[in-house]
Amino acid sequence: MRHQAFVIEAEEEKGIELALAWVERELGMRAEQNPDIAMLRYGLLSVDDARRVSELAAGASFAGEHKVLIISASRAYHEAQNALLKIFEEPPPGTYLFFILPTLGGLLPTLRSRVQVLDEYRDVVRPDIISGRTTSRIPEEAEAFLKASCEKRILMIKKLTSGKGEEVRREHRDEAIRIVNGIEAAAYAKLKDSSSTSLGALLSDISVLRSHLYDRSAPVRMILEHLALVIPKDLV
């Protein structure tokens, strides 16, 4: 049985390219001027956006037997992901969904379990992502955080949690998420060559703390300060 719901870990344009390549190869659909292929681009995916996606997915195709929705976002509120659960679990016959995110670290397990992950160059399920691990490159913000002294980390955290205005706070939240995801990626890379219990403890902490970063009322400062203190010296 062919999968109909996918997620792709990639930047927007690369993810769209991968989705369209799959659609052309597997469904024989061309993207140019095709009313049955819709591309929806968001910064932060809200609940209203997710409901709009569900409404569009529920509609009939215009010209052919298949319909494709490609949704890209920089991140998605947990509430928005919950609003997508039903449509991703049971897409209408002939409807294919692609959800593109720069990192799958914040993907809810309930949504993760309903999709297939398309890897770049290979349409396969990535076991490392399904188990919660990521193989993304470490973002510059995370590298800087890891290399900084404890005092400098605290200054970085203060900057990320002192912005005024919704847009500034959103940008700072995105940067905080990149830092946490980068620390996780670095820890997994190090863990391959080490059996350090401190790395295991750090990864356990991250798996719990990172999910809270996607809540609007997340205590970002407390989360980052905790990580700043528990990062093992052998990870730096």
Q: Rounded distance, CA 161 to CA 173, Å?
A: 8
pTM tops 0.75, yes or no: no
Size of the chain in residues: 236
Q: Which of 86, 106, 130 is the last residue of a domain?
A: 130
Q: Does residue 44 sit in the same domain as residue 82? A: yes
- 84 within domain boundaries: yes
Q: Does residue 159 sit in the same domain as residue 126? A: no
The domain tally of the chain equals 2
Q: Token pair for residue 70? A: 């490609």
**Would you write out the chain's pLDDT as a tens digit for each of its 236 residues?**
578 999 998 889 999 999 999 999 999 998 888 999 999 999 889 999 999 999 999 988 888 899 999 999 988 888 999 999 999 999 999 999 999 998 887 788 888 888 888 875 444 333 333 334 444 467 788 899 999 998 899 999 998 888 777 778 878 888 888 888 788 878 877 776 666 678 878 887 887 776 677 666 778 889 899 988 888 887 86
- 135 within domain boundaries: no
Q: Does residue 217 sit in the same domain as residue 182? A: yes
Q: Does residue 99 sit in the same domain as residue 177? A: no
Q: Does residue 111 sit in the same domain as residue 211? A: no
Q: How far apart are the first and last CA of the chain?
A: 46
Q: Does residue 14 sit in the same domain as residue 100? A: yes
Q: How remote is the C-alpha of 50 from its chain's centroid?
A: 15
Q: Does residue 58 sit in the same domain as residue 76? A: yes
Q: Does residue 176 sit in the same domain as residue 95? A: no
Q: Does residue 70 sit in the same domain as residue 151? A: no
Containing domain of residue 33, as a range?
5-130
Q: Does residue 85 sit in the same domain as residue 186? A: no
Residue 67 contacts by C-beta under 8 Å, 6 or more apart in sequence? 36, 37, 38, 57, 59, 60, 61, 92, 94, 95, 96
Of the candidates 206, 188, 69, 198, the residue with the CA atom closest to the CA atom of residue 127: 188
Segment holding 227, helix H or strand E: helix 220-230
CATH number, residue 87: 3.40.50.300
* Cβ atoms of residues 35 and 66 within 8 Å: no
Q: Does residue 119 sit in the same domain as residue 153? A: no
